[in-house]
Structure 1
Amino acid sequence: MGETAEAAGERHAVVIGGGLAGMLAVTALLGHVDTVTVVERDRYPQGHVFRKGVPQARHLHVFLTGGQRALDALLPGTVQALTDAGARTLHLPRDLVTRTGVGWQRRFDEQRHTCVSATRPVIDGIVRDRALRAAAGSKTRLEVLEATEAVGLTGDAGRVTGVRIRTRGARDDGQRADGSAADTAERSIPAVLVVDASGRSSKTPQWYAELGRPAPREETVDAGIAYATRIFRPTGPAGAPDIGVNIPHWPGNPRGAVYVPVEDGKWLLTASGIRGHHPPTDDRGFADFTATVGDPFIHGLLPHLEPVSPVHGFRDTSNRRRHYERPGAVPEGFVVLGDANCTFNPVYGQGMSVVALGALALRRTLESGGLRPGFAGEAQRAVARASDAAWFGAVGADRPYVSGPESRAGLLERLTNRYLQRFIGHMAVDPVLGAAFRDVFCLTAPPSRLLSPRLALRVLLRPLRPGPGTPQTRVESVRRAARGRGTADGAEVTAPHSAGTD
Structure 2
Amino acid sequence: MAAHAGSGHTAIVIGGGLAGMLAVTALLGHVETITVVERDRYPAAPAFRKGVPQARHLHILLSGGQRALDDLLPGTVAALTEAGARSLYLPRDLLTRTPTGWQRRFDERRHPTLSVTRPLLDAVVRERTLLAAAASPTRVEVLEATEAVGLTGDAGRVTGVRVRSRGGEPADRSARELSATLVVDASGRGSRAPQWYAELGRPAPHEETVDAGIAYATREYRPSDPDTAPDVGVNIPGWPQCPRGGAYVPVEDGKWLLTLSGVRGHHPPTDAQGFLGFSATIGDPYVHELLARAEPVSPVHGFRDTCNRRRHFERTDAAPEGFLALGDAYCTFNPVYGQGMSVAALAALAVRGTLERTGGPVPGFTAEAQRAVSRAVDPAWVAAVGADRPYTTDGDAGAGRGERLAAWYFDRLVARAAIDPVVGAAYRDVFCLTAPLSRLVAPRIVLRTVFLPRRPGLAAPPEAVETV
Given that 2:189 and 2:332 are in contact with CA atoms closer than 8 Å, whether structure 1 keeps it comes out as: yes
Partner of 2:98: 100
Given the alignment, which residue of 32, 36, 47 partners 2:30? 32
Q: Percent identity of the aligned residues?
A: 69
2:327 paired with 1:338? yes
In structure 2, the CA distance between the partners of 1:424 and 1:18, relative to structure 1 (3 Å rule), is same
Matched, 1:396 2:394: no
Aligned to 1:488: none
* Structure 1 residue aligned with 2:3: none
How far off its partner does 1:404 sit?
3.6
Residue 184 of structure 1 deviates from its aligned partner by: 1.0
CA contact (8 A) 2:63 2:112 kept: yes
CA distance in 1: counterparts of 2:249 and 2:43, whole angstroms: 25
Q: Secondary structure at the match of 1:292?
A: coil
Letter in 1 for 2:284: D
Partner of 2:130: 132
Q: CA RMSD in A?
A: 1.2
Deviations along 1:422-472, whole A, 9 cap, x unmatched? 101111100000100000000001111111122111111010111111111
Pairing 1:348-363 to 2, within 5 Å after superposition: 348-363=337-352
Contact 1:221 1:406 survives alignment (8 Å): no
Distance 1:402 1:26 in 2: 36
- AA matched with 2:230: P
Q: CA deviation at 1:339?
A: 0.4
Contact 1:239–1:301 (Cα < 8 Å) also in 2: no
Inter-partner Cα distance in structure 1 for 2:434 and 2:230: 29
The CA deviation at 1:239 is 4.0
Matches within 5 A, 1:372-383: 372-383=362-373
SS at match of 1:43: coil
Pairing partner for 1:52 from 32, 50, 64? 50
Mapped contact 2:207–2:312 kept (Cα < 8 A): yes
3-state SS of paired residue (1:152): strand
- After superposition, give the CA deviation of every residue in 1:295-342 in whole Å (9 maximum; x if it has no partner): 010001111011111100000001001111101111111100000000
The secondary structure found in structure 1 opposite 2:178 is strand
- Tell me the equivalent position of 2:245: 256
In 2, the alpha carbon distance for the partners of 1:391 and 1:57 equals 21
Are 2:455 and 1:465 aligned?
Answer: yes
Aligned 8 A contact 2:149 2:164 in 1? yes
Deviations 1:219-251 (Å, cap 9, x if unpaired)? 000000000000101111464422100000112
Determine if contact 1:226/1:273 at 8 Å carries over to the other structure: yes
Superposed, 1:480-499 pairs within 5 Å as none
Within 5 A, what are the aligned runs for 1:100-499? 100-170=98-168, 174=169, 183-237=172-226, 239-369=228-358, 370-404=360-394, 408-478=398-468
1:46: how far off? 1.0
Shift of 1:405: 8.3
Is the Cα contact below 8 Å between 1:160 and 1:334 reproduced in 2? yes
Residue type of the alignment partner of 1:308: V
Instruction: Report if the CA contact (8 A) 1:147-1:168 is conserved.
Output: yes
Among 14, 19, 22, the alignment partner of 1:21 is 19
Q: Distance in 2 between matches of 1:198 and 1:238?
A: 42
Check conservation: 1:400, 1:407, Cα contact below 8 A. no
Deviations 1:27-65 (A, max 9, x none): 001000000000000000110111111000000111101
- Work out the CA distance in 1 between the residues paired with 2:279 and 2:382: 28
Give a deviation string over 1:137-163, Cα, whole Å, max 9, x none.
111001100000000000111110000
Unpaired stretches in structure 2, ≥5 consecutive residues = 1-5
- Kindly provide the amino acid, as one letter, of the partner of residue 464 in structure 1: R
What's 1:482 paired with?
Answer: none
Distance 1:300 1:371 in 2: 55
Secondary structure at 2:254's aligned position in 1?
coil
TM-score (norm. length: structure 2): 0.97
CA distance in structure 2 between the aligned counterparts of 1:194 and 1:99, rounded to whole angstroms: 44
| Aligned partner of residue 462 in structure 2, secondary structure | coil
- From 62, 65, 87, the equivalent of 2:63 is 65
Name the SS for the 1:228 alignment partner: strand
Mapping of residues 71-86 of structure 1, within 5 Å:
71-86=69-84
Judge conservation of contact 1:222–1:406 (CA < 8 Å) in 2: no
Note the residue ranges of structure 1 that are not aligned, 5 or more in a row.
1-7, 176-181, 479-502
